[in-house]
Amino acid sequence: MKPSFTLIVVVLLLSILVGCAGPNLLKGTVGEHGGVAGFWIGLWQGLIAPFVFVVSLFKSDLSIYEVHNNGGWYNFGYLFGLACFFRGSGNRAAAVKSGTAPEGAKQLS
C-alpha cells in the first residue's frame, strides 16, 4: 500500500471521529440532583466506569459520563479514576518481561 494512500485513509478516519465530538452544551448547568459534578465525582465515576459500562449494556437509562459537569476538573478526575482502576497495567507487563516482577508473579521466558 502506498504511504500517501495510507495517510489519506488515516486523515479521513480521524476527520470522521473528530466530527462526532462536539461541545457539551450542559457543562456548568445544574443536574437533576441539584449540583454540578466536579473533580471528586469525576474521580468516583472514573473508578466505577468499567462496571457501569457493563450494566449500561442492559439498562438503557444508565450513562457512564455525567454531562452536568464543571469541565476540565471533572474530565481530569474521570480520566484519573480510570487510570487508577486499570493501575497502568503496561508497567506491570514490562516488569514481568524484564524479570523485576513482584514475588508471586509469573516470569515470561
Inter-CA distances, 104 with 24, 37, 43, 96, Å: 46, 40, 30, 11
List helix spans (H) across 1-109.
Answer: 3-20, 39-56, 72-86, 89-98
Q: How far is CA 10 from the centre of its chain?
A: 22
Can you read off the three cell numbers belonging to residue 28?
Answer: 456548568
pLDDT truncated to tens, each residue of the chain (109 aa)?
A: 577 788 888 888 877 776 666 666 677 778 777 788 889 988 998 999 899 889 989 988 888 888 888 888 988 998 899 888 887 656 665 555 666 656 665 655 5
Residue pair 91/58 in contact by the 8 Å Cβ criterion? no
> How many other CB atoms sit within 10 Å of the CB of residue 7?
10
* pLDDT value of residue 7: 85
The CA–CA distances, whole Å, from 80 to 42, 48, 63 equal 8, 12, 18
User: Which residues have a Cβ under 8 Å from the Cβ of 82 and sit 6 or more positions away?
Assistant: 46, 47, 49, 50
